[in-house]
Structure 1
């Protein structure tokens, strides 16, 4: 990631924790990471760079600060806020901004991406009756899945069907996104270009090229939710719940009206784990998915909101009066913040 990329993830209105951005990219799904990802509107970054090492953004962050584009904030975790010079540097050239990213956390992107790229290569080689070629380096499970798909749908019409499906989806995307995606595909006598090669060719950053690629993969996967789509057997199963199975089970039990302590006993988990599951679900699911009125009674909402600052980012549990901390635990405090955010309250 380059300074131009990090600038797009920062704000001049909100100090943002560098470690949160890093952990989102790495797929570290702690409640704290997910909560601040929600507050930063950056949840779409989840799992986008699983190989990023811890501290992998430190060097580029220091470059941004050294250039005067951001300042470190005072906090136990490093925070960055854009300066006016940073806003100018961020906005001085057009930068690719993905459109609707709400579906991104709902797709197992790494699996969908490998399946799609290998399926395109296999289909392309099949169209030219090529029996010997080097397949893309993917994991064994992907190779087996794509092999099963190919033998199920193999037909002389398959290449035309796949081409038509891809063309239909790419036509709905911005021309540059379609061009970058197409140039990155591997097929018959066509090695796909790397993100760096694409960046050089299209005068963008490597991260922008990757975001365009992700945009296309998600769009194709969405189209493949149609059971008649030629890639449906491959890509439809890669859609997933944005919360863990354990959290889903906890939420299902809570929705029956069972008290939280009893949920813990029935599921043989700690009460603190029940609360973590509910916070995860609250962050990742629509407001209608949780019984907020039951989990945060009106009296609790009124008492807490009366004592808290107007801006949610300024809320601190330890700053509450001791009497309120005794009456309401951190779970209630954080759940209220999530609910307020979901309702459009800043």
Structure 2
């Protein structure tokens, strides 16, 4: 991952919604707490998950302060630092014309880091083989990636692999904006072509290395989509990297609920805390499509009506501790948060305050 500059962080902020800097940081670092995932959903930034594992805690503080110093954003007093764009920040955001990924909703469903490493090495190996190169320096990567690419290469029809790979890459790249396709190809390493780094591409295209990185991810995801078809030459290399964007433990908890178990029963059966059961379900509700989660079973209509009558229209303004003690005694925080997730996914009047 390339470091985010102030102009990159600018694109992740809003004038209508104060955004917690630590949430954005935790998304990038892959910290999957329910709070991080929930606010990632509210900010429409869940696609950032795991994209910056090398980012250190506080790694966004410098870019954030730079935006404040340039009067493009302001700090808002809270228990966690929050940023809101100023009118000047909104104008700068619009003027920048940043790259906006179109496949972002799919990013949490793919192991992007592994897919990118496999694709880059696979392209290099096939390119060198096509030109009968006997000696070359393979891209530096981890042992597992080298072994997987080697196995894929030798299990493929090597006489046809070059032509088939070129055809599938051409089809996938044709679905992308010309600039994204050009940047992606320039980053490939092959016969007599050293791939350009993100920094080099950023200079050439007068953008930031982070923007180039996002373009590469867009291309990798698009190529991996095609690899979901068994006849695609990259199927064995990229196909297995598609996954359900929920931990296996949370999947097991959700399956138990869908089978009819109560939360307390599931906690006993799975030998986990009731609070862990609730965390699993909130994670699943956030990360899965609305239709894949049993909201109606866990949120009776009477409970929904009671809460909605007491809460503000904007979900960002919902605060559990603002509810009367008598209400809190009947309705726990899990129910409160689950309703917020569902209202957001339904996109009704309670879910339109972000932007």
Do they superpose with TM above 0.5?
yes
RMSD: 0.8
Residue of structure 2 equivalent to 1:29: 32
Deviations 1:280-300 (A, max 9, x none): 000001112222112111121
- Note if 1:177 corresponds to 2:185: no
Shift of 1:181: 0.2
C-alpha distance in 2, partners of 1:138/1:265? 44
Shift of 1:94: 1.7
Deviations 1:161-197 (A, max 9, x none): 1111111110110000000000011111211111110
Shift of 1:156: 2.2
Shift of 1:93: 2.9
Matching of residues 5-154 of structure 1 within 5 Å: 5-154=8-157
Query: TM-score if structure 2 supplies the norm length?
Result: 0.96
C-alpha distance in 1, partners of 2:86/2:281? 36
Shift of 1:154: 4.1
- Note if 1:327 corresponds to 2:330: yes
2:203 to 176, 200, 203: 200
Deviations 1:110-150 (A, max 9, x none): 11111111100100110111121111111111111111000
2:247 to 228, 244, 248: 244
2:307 to 287, 304, 307: 304
C-alpha distance in 2, partners of 1:299/1:168? 51
Deviations 1:177-235 (A, max 9, x none): 00000001111121111111000001111111011000000000000001000000001
Shift of 1:9: 0.3
Query: TM-score if structure 1 supplies the norm length?
Result: 0.99
C-alpha distance in 1, partners of 2:293/2:207? 41
C-alpha distance in 1, partners of 2:291/2:95? 40
Residue of structure 2 equivalent to 1:279: 282
Contact kept, 8 Å, 2:184 with 2:216, in 1: the verdict is yes
Residue of structure 2 equivalent to 1:213: 216
- Note if 1:343 corresponds to 2:342: no
2:259 to 253, 256, 259: 256
Contact kept, 8 Å, 2:19 with 2:83, in 1: the verdict is yes
User: Which secondary structure state, in structure 2, belongs to the residue aligned with residue 179 of structure 1?
Assistant: helix
Shift of 1:157: 2.2
Bigger relative CO (Cα 8 Å, ≥ 6 apart): 2
User: Which secondary structure state, in structure 1, belongs to the residue aligned with residue 246 of structure 2?
Assistant: coil
Contact kept, 8 Å, 2:152 with 2:237, in 1: the verdict is yes
User: Which secondary structure state, in structure 2, belongs to the residue aligned with residue 80 of structure 1?
Assistant: strand
C-alpha distance in 2, partners of 1:139/1:279? 34
User: Which secondary structure state, in structure 1, belongs to the residue aligned with residue 104 of structure 2?
Assistant: coil
Residue of structure 1 equivalent to 2:234: 231
Deviations 1:68-98 (A, max 9, x none): 0000011100000000010111112321111
- Note if 1:222 corresponds to 2:225: yes
Deviations 1:18-53 (A, max 9, x none): 010011111111100000000000001111111111
User: Which secondary structure state, in structure 1, belongs to the residue aligned with residue 190 of structure 2?
Assistant: coil
